[in-house]
Chain A
Amino acid sequence: MFDNVWLIPLLPFIGFLINGLLGKRIKNETVIGGIASAMVLGSFIVSCLTLFNLLSLPGEERQVEVKIFSWITSGVFNADVAFLIDPLSCLMIMVVSGVGFLIHLYSIGYMHGEEGYYRYFSYLNLFTFSMLLLVLGNNLLLMFVGWEGVGLCSYLLIGYYFHKKSAADAGKKAFVMNRIGDFGFLLGIFTLFWYLGSSHNVWTITFTELANNSHLLPTGGIVTVITLCFFLGATGKSAQIPLYTWLPDAMEGPTPVSALIHAATMVTAGVYMIARMNYLFIRSPETLAVIAVIGACTALFAATIGTAQNDIKRVLAYSTVSQLGYMFLAMGVGAFGAGIFHLMTHAFFKACLFLGSGAVIHSMHGALHHAHSNDDAQDMRNMGGLRSKMPLTFITFLLATIAISGIPGFSGFFSKDEILWQAFSNPHHGSLNFLLWGMGALAAGLTAFYMFRLVFMTFFGECRITPKAKDHLHESPMIIVLPLIVLAGLSVVGGFIGIPKVIGDLFGGIPNYLEHYLDPVFKHSEEYMAHHGAHTGIHNIALEWGLMGTSVLIALIGITVAYSLYVANKGIPARFVAAFPGLHRAVYNKWYIDELYDNIIVNPCKAFSQFLWKGFDVIVIDGAVNGVAKTVMACSGVFRLMQSGLISNYAWSMAFGVVVMLSYFILK
């Protein structure tokens, strides 16, 4: 029943090969785009089939492993290429291939006329292949292969406009930061493999066996080390506090890339990894606390930066970082289901937002191009009043913005509120919960503020574009708007499959389908919680409603503030900036984090290696080697003086020799 699963990753790989090798010859763009999208559509269909088959199985046995071939076997270590089909991975392949397909369609229109067209689509297909591999992999090593594969594709796609130095730098920065994360991931794999093997003679890295043997692991201690290493990997990939600076720079890549990689799929890999190994993370409360705190801080921190950005894609990038912070907050408080739910809904509305901004940039670029002005097509200060020019894009963009700000009824509200409630009521962190909830709610308010600020600045008010270009602004072609509509619909409807229980009972007992669907994946951690849980969470319905109300209230406040600042009286932001120039400049320059990293890590590293090379390698080692040569030369110079060429010297030394020998023999 599941034997055609290997088609899911294979189809995009074939697409990659076709476009990669023959792309140059197939000049025609629609053929290239068509092949790529068809491949991803094929894998989407097969994943639907797999999901359907999986749902037909009873709840408990929804876990199937399909082995393709054994990859590396040496000594006690063996890793093989095998796929794990279970509710979590099915959900992920649906999201990846579904959103991926829509974005492929979108980029056929968006990338029209680019000179490396085939290269773009082959890399996009390669990305889909590695993401599916990551999600479907049944052991840590295969997940790591997908993990680095997506890192590589994000490097290739960010650096797509490689003639631009900033794009190439951004690509390199992304790859190195991901690599730092992978360093942590690798250490996690080694420690886990070594500990389980040497202490309990269980030499394995496959998820199912790890789950079944997870009872051997102690709470805290070594498990904290392992989970912290894995979390380091997650921060690298999903752009959390220490390693997030690469995501805003990744906006150098084409917008569909940002939509697919830096919003919907790749950045959620970290969240997926934690969900996949929930039985590990649940066993170390310290790591959960670390994840929760970092998640909350990232959410709040990124939201603050987002409020002051003028580049439309930078705002969305920081909003992605902040939403990821929410997901990690959910993971940190043990609400794995809520985290995955937010991951799914975020994929929909964030992809819609990015594609919408892409459409805006696309038409702005076209218009400015006609007017031969080289204003920045992405700067919101040149936009405004596009509501009338691009009605469809405006509507879809507005719907997605409402969803992300957590207005009740839309998907964002259900998933974000579930996370906030779990943060408040979870049994893990005791007093920390209030702080977590507070930061989450504040971040929600800021999210609402900067999202609506973006909407008002781009779509409302009078058009600030250069007059000549004004009439060239037009709605994007159908192939671009269609995915927008689908995604907007999903972001509206998406929330209903995971309605929190308290609201569900209100509307006549609609169960939380998603929670129920994902239960088998997290049963190990539930068992552990039931067994070890010191104190249970708070189950007070009234409190839940109260908190839900406050978070909606904060969101509404955010929207009204945005409205008053950017629509009603436009002067206030200027005066605000004048009042607090220092604060504004700090927030606008991303709290100088990039400069901080450069001065603390990058420049000293360069200086140190320069010292190592010039100082140590050249002077010390080569010096020593050449020194030996010079001393030998010097000694030979001295000995050469003896051959002075004067006979008397020779006679003298001969006589001296004779005398010495004679006296030696005599005295002996």
Chain B
Amino acid sequence: MSYILSLTTFLPILGVLLLFFIPKESKSVLRGFTFAVTLVTFLASLLILFGFQTNAEFQFVENVPWIAAGPFVMRYNIGVDGISLWLVILTTFIMPLSVLSTWKAVEDKVKEYMICLLILETSLIGAFISIDMFLFYIYWELMLIPMYFMIGIWGGKNRLYATMKFFIYTMVGSLLMLVAFIYLYMLGSQAGIPDFSVLHFYNLRIDPTIQVWMFMAFALAFAIKVPMFPLHTWLPDAHTEAPTAGSVILAAIMLKMGTYGYVRFAMPLFPEAAHRFAPLLATLAVIGIIYAALVAMVQEDVKKLVAYSSVAHLGFVMLGLFAFNVQGMTGSMLQMLNHGISTGALFLIVGFIYERRHTRLISDFGGLAKQMPVFATIFMIVTLSSIGVPGTNGFVGEFLILIGGYESELRWWAVVATSGVIFAAVYMLWMFQRVMFGELNNPKNQKLLDLDAREIAIMLPLVVLIFVMGVYPNPFIEKMDPAIQKLVAHIRPASMNAKILPAALQSLPVGHPAMPGHSGMEESTAPSAASGQLPAGHPGIPAEGQSSEPVVNPHESK
């Protein structure tokens, strides 16, 4: 079954073709058929999961010549490895749920909506599995179009502003990335690399100054998608205006595209630049965590609140990525899955109450727990997962990120990020209390009916996953561990020569100059630090005067 990967990718397109034959009026048939297609795609992706041996190599690789235009040779080169496996499964897992959630939500133009959904699924899966950078770029752009229509046509009041902003924001970023791609290709072709496959470019030595510019281009494109701190304002608008299924997919999968981009392209291709930019991007990530949490606290609109919460969660993921160690990376990969599940569930929940009350203002709700007890328990479980209470999936990811971050140079960033844990509890619980607890005085709330079978069927797999990943995350971690070990081994040595930091950065509490080695991964155990003394620049009690070991400035020692 070596074509399983292409099959999974293009199954939705097959669905689209068949959809054309179904008449526009028979809505339920349309919905049923689309649900069936997404379900079959999910089963196909399960085949990939079970067929996947846990090693660091790309599997189910398909490498077929595709375009040869002048100097450019592009091959249809796809494959899945530890990192992208779970993201593909997350995509195919979330799609049936979002299709199921639009049963009553979308009444007009159902056929076009379903077509958008299926095209979106194809482009998402394609982006995750493509090894050829050009193919990745095509899928990267392709996914914008269906989302643009979904928000633009079936959105809320000022949907045009939101969808325009979303589209242009992402487009600007990705154009820069395209330029970087082409320049990279040129560099590659000089060095004899035949095609666009990213694997060839991994071991291409690019001198640091060019790396800095290329990394900036990639980083900007993915930072917009993540969304990182200053470039995040499109997310709340896009979410408030998007239909339920649209915002579920946007939050659960499309945001992961940004972080996946960092892991697959930005960091391994330009390791030195990644190390040099680590403090800056970590600062933005940490600001993102605190800033989004604070802003989420005072939101009146539930969906905007959840949107800001996902900015905060992804800030954690970015912090984990820039820790450059196995715990940090595993933590962020896990957190991507957790965020997909918990925020996807949150948006589904907001969708349910929106379908009932057609309002998203927190002040319109109150005391729903008495009126809708089943809904209350599910909402409570998902809130706890989003806060990261131990026993749910959120905690495992966050803990690994923070402990990974604490261990790397980003020690002080991890300390500040840990306080994000408090704010997460504050805004989620405050929202939960204003929506669910308190008096049931609003007459319209008194007539709300609890979740029906369909809605429970949507939420059940998510709740089960929340607990399974919280209590027993090992199967998830095992599958991605070899790929992450390989990635970290690829990036870490680059940090040696990235150590020639300009004097300005020297003042940062950089850990002991000789990188503290990890017995687990590198054989060469780093020389143990000064026996009892404080390692230089230690965060603890500010070393009164210079500690016994002055921070060796690489410049002088050279």
Binding site for B on A (CB under 8 A): 24, 69-77, 141, 144-145, 148-149, 152, 155, 159, 162-163, 165, 168-169, 171-172, 175-176, 179-180, 182-183, 186-187, 189-191, 193-194, 197-201, 203, 218, 221-222, 224-225, 605-606, 608-610, 612-613, 616-617, 621-622, 625
Q: How far is the CB of A556 from chain B (nearest CB, A)?
A: 45
Binding site for A on B (CB under 8 A): 165, 169, 230, 232-233, 291, 294-295, 297-299, 325-327, 330-331, 367, 369-370, 373, 384, 389-391, 395-396, 399-400, 402-404, 406-407, 411, 414-415, 418-419, 421-422, 425-426, 429-430, 433, 436-440, 471-474, 477, 481, 485, 511-512, 516, 518-521, 525, 528-529, 532, 534-535, 538-541
Contact check, B406 vs A191: say whether CB atoms are below 8 A apart: yes
Chain B residues near A203 (CB-CB < 8 A): 518-520
Partner among A152, A200, A609 whose Cβ is within 8 Å of the Cβ of B389:
A152
User: Once the chains are docked, how many angstroms separate the CA of A578 from the CA of B426?
Assistant: 41
Q: How far is the CB of A135 from chain B (nearest CB, A)?
A: 15
User: Once the chains are docked, how many angstroms separate the CA of A72 from the CA of B399?
Assistant: 10
Q: How far is the CB of B320 from chain A (nearest CB, A)?
A: 11
Q: List 16 A-B contacts (CB under 8 A).
A: A71-B473, A144-B390, A149-B389, A159-B433, A168-B438, A175-B425, A183-B418, A186-B399, A193-B407, A198-B511, A198-B529, A199-B535, A201-B525, A221-B541, A609-B297, A616-B291
Contact check, A162 vs B403: say whether CB atoms are below 8 A apart: no
Partner among B233, B326, B425 whose Cβ is within 8 Å of the Cβ of A74:
B326
Contact check, B419 vs A183: say whether CB atoms are below 8 A apart: yes
Contact check, A176 vs B422: say whether CB atoms are below 8 A apart: yes
Pairs A-B, 9 closest by C-beta atoms: A75-B326, A609-B294, A145-B390, A190-B406, A168-B437, A162-B437, A198-B516, A74-B330, A76-B520
Contact check, A612 vs B294: say whether CB atoms are below 8 A apart: yes
Contact check, A163 vs B439: say whether CB atoms are below 8 A apart: yes
Of the candidates A24, A141, A148, A149, the one having the most CB atoms from chain B within 10 angstroms of its own CB is A148
Contact check, A76 vs B406: say whether CB atoms are below 8 A apart: no
User: Once the chains are docked, how many angstroms separate the CA of A163 from the CA of B370?
Assistant: 8
Chain A residues near B516 (CB-CB < 8 A): 197-198
Q: Which residue of B lies closest to A126 (CB)?
A: B391
Chain A residues near B528 (CB-CB < 8 A): 199-201
User: Once the chains are docked, how many angstroms separate the CA of A224 from the CA of B542?
Assistant: 12
Chain A residues near B421 (CB-CB < 8 A): 179, 182-183, 186
Chain A residues near B330 (CB-CB < 8 A): 74-75
Q: How far is the CB of B417 from chain A (nearest CB, A)?
A: 10
User: Once the chains are docked, how many angstroms separate the CA of A581 from the CA of B143?
Assistant: 70
Q: How far is the CB of B442 from chain A (nearest CB, A)?
A: 13
Partner among B169, B518, B538 whose Cβ is within 8 Å of the Cβ of A75:
B518
Contact check, A198 vs B535: say whether CB atoms are below 8 A apart: yes
User: Once the chains are docked, how many angstroms separate the CA of A222 from the CA of B534?
Assistant: 8
Contacts A168-B433, A179-B425, A606-B298 given; 13 further ones with Cβ under 8 A?
A24-B373, A71-B473, A72-B474, A74-B400, A75-B330, A76-B518, A76-B519, A182-B421, A183-B421, A199-B529, A203-B518, A203-B520, A621-B233
Chain B residues near A76 (CB-CB < 8 A): 326-327, 518-521
User: Once the chains are docked, how many angstroms separate the CA of A159 from the CA of B369?
Assistant: 12
Contact check, B477 vs A73: say whether CB atoms are below 8 A apart: yes
Q: How far is the CB of A365 from chain B (nearest CB, A)?
A: 21
Partner among B425, B437, B541 whose Cβ is within 8 Å of the Cβ of A176:
B425
User: Once the chains are docked, how many angstroms separate the CA of A608 from the CA of B298?
Assistant: 10
Partner among A187, A189, A613 whose Cβ is within 8 Å of the Cβ of B299:
A613
Chain A residues near B165 (CB-CB < 8 A): 625
A75 touching B437 in the complex, CB below 8 Å, given contacts A149-B390, A194-B407: no
Chain A residues near B485 (CB-CB < 8 A): 75
Q: Which residue of A lies closest to B429 (CB)?
A: A172
User: Once the chains are docked, how many angstroms separate the CA of A201 from the CA of B440?
Assistant: 57
Contact check, B436 vs A617: say whether CB atoms are below 8 A apart: no
User: Once the chains are docked, how many angstroms separate the CA of A74 from the CA of B535?
Assistant: 25
Chain A residues near B415 (CB-CB < 8 A): 187
Contact check, A225 vs B390: say whether CB atoms are below 8 A apart: no
Chain B residues near A200 (CB-CB < 8 A): 528
Q: How far is the CB of A233 from chain B (nearest CB, A)?
A: 12
User: Once the chains are docked, how many angstroms separate the CA of A198 from the CA of B436?
Assistant: 46
Contact check, A218 vs B430: say whether CB atoms are below 8 A apart: no
Q: How far is the CB of B543 from chain A (nearest CB, A)?
A: 9
Q: Which residue of A lies closest to B334 (CB)?
A: A74
Contact check, B298 vs A613: say whether CB atoms are below 8 A apart: yes
User: Once the chains are docked, how many angstroms separate the CA of A371 from the CA of B240?
Assistant: 52
User: Once the chains are docked, how many angstroms separate the CA of A159 from the CA of B429?
Assistant: 12
Q: How far is the CB of A179 from chain B (nearest CB, A)?
A: 4
A225 touching B438 in the complex, CB below 8 Å, given contacts A76-B327, A183-B419: no
Chain A residues near B477 (CB-CB < 8 A): 72-74
Contact check, A625 vs B233: say whether CB atoms are below 8 A apart: yes
Contact check, B391 vs A176: say whether CB atoms are below 8 A apart: no
Q: Which residue of A lies closest to B231 (CB)?
A: A621
Chain B residues near A183 (CB-CB < 8 A): 418-419, 421-422
Contact check, B474 vs A152: say whether CB atoms are below 8 A apart: no
Chain B residues near A176 (CB-CB < 8 A): 422, 425-426, 429
Contact check, A621 vs B402: say whether CB atoms are below 8 A apart: no
User: Once the chains are docked, how many angstroms separate the CA of A70 from the CA of B475?
Assistant: 11
User: Once the chains are docked, how many angstroms separate the CA of A24 from the CA of B516?
Assistant: 55
Chain B residues near A193 (CB-CB < 8 A): 403, 406-407
Chain A residues near B396 (CB-CB < 8 A): 72
User: Once the chains are docked, how many angstroms separate the CA of A590 from the CA of B287?
Assistant: 36
User: Once the chains are docked, how many angstroms separate the CA of A625 from the CA of B369?
Assistant: 40
Q: Which residue of A lies closest to B234 (CB)?
A: A625
User: Once the chains are docked, how many angstroms separate the CA of A22 from the CA of B519?
Assistant: 49
User: Once the chains are docked, how many angstroms separate the CA of A159 from the CA of B516?
Assistant: 47
User: Once the chains are docked, how many angstroms separate the CA of A280 from the CA of B421?
Assistant: 26
Q: How far is the CB of B64 from chain A (nearest CB, A)?
A: 36
Contact check, A162 vs B294: say whether CB atoms are below 8 A apart: no
Partner among A175, A197, A225, A605 whose Cβ is within 8 Å of the Cβ of B540:
A225
Chain A residues near B430 (CB-CB < 8 A): 172
A74 touching B331 in the complex, CB below 8 Å, given contacts A176-B425, A191-B406, A605-B294: yes
Q: Which residue of A lies closest to B388 (CB)?
A: A148
User: Once the chains are docked, how many angstroms separate the CA of A73 from the CA of B473?
Assistant: 9
Chain B residues near A145 (CB-CB < 8 A): 390-391, 395
Q: Which residue of A lies closest to B415 (CB)?
A: A187
Chain B residues near A69 (CB-CB < 8 A): 472
Contact check, B294 vs A608: say whether CB atoms are below 8 A apart: yes
Contact check, B295 vs A613: say whether CB atoms are below 8 A apart: yes
User: Once the chains are docked, how many angstroms separate the CA of A319 from the CA of B481?
Assistant: 51
Chain B residues near A612 (CB-CB < 8 A): 291, 294-295
Q: How far is the CB of A426 from chain B (nearest CB, A)?
A: 24
Contact check, B519 vs A225: say whether CB atoms are below 8 A apart: no
A71 touching B474 in the complex, CB below 8 Å, given contacts A162-B436, A198-B407, A201-B519: yes
Contact check, A75 vs B325: say whether CB atoms are below 8 A apart: yes
Chain A residues near B390 (CB-CB < 8 A): 144-145, 148-149
Contact check, A162 vs B369: say whether CB atoms are below 8 A apart: yes
Contact check, B399 vs A141: say whether CB atoms are below 8 A apart: yes
Chain B residues near A162 (CB-CB < 8 A): 369-370, 436-438
Chain A residues near B327 (CB-CB < 8 A): 74-77
Contact check, A610 vs B298: say whether CB atoms are below 8 A apart: yes
Partner among A77, A197, A225, A622 whose Cβ is within 8 Å of the Cβ of B400:
A77
Chain A residues near B539 (CB-CB < 8 A): 225
Partner among A163, A180, A221 whose Cβ is within 8 Å of the Cβ of B437:
A163
User: Once the chains are docked, how many angstroms separate the CA of A542 from the CA of B187?
Assistant: 88
A163 touching B438 in the complex, CB below 8 Å, given contacts A69-B472, A75-B521, A187-B418: yes
Chain B residues near A625 (CB-CB < 8 A): 165, 169, 233
Q: Which residue of A lies closest to B172 (CB)?
A: A628
Contact check, A72 vs B521: say whether CB atoms are below 8 A apart: no
Partner among A71, A165, A201 whose Cβ is within 8 Å of the Cβ of B438:
A165
Q: How far is the CB of B212 from chain A (nearest CB, A)?
A: 25
User: Once the chains are docked, how many angstroms separate the CA of A191 from the CA of B411?
Assistant: 9
Q: How far is the CB of B169 from chain A (nearest CB, A)?
A: 8
User: Once the chains are docked, how many angstroms separate the CA of A162 from the CA of B429?
Assistant: 13
A222 touching B538 in the complex, CB below 8 Å, given contacts A75-B325, A75-B520, A163-B437: yes
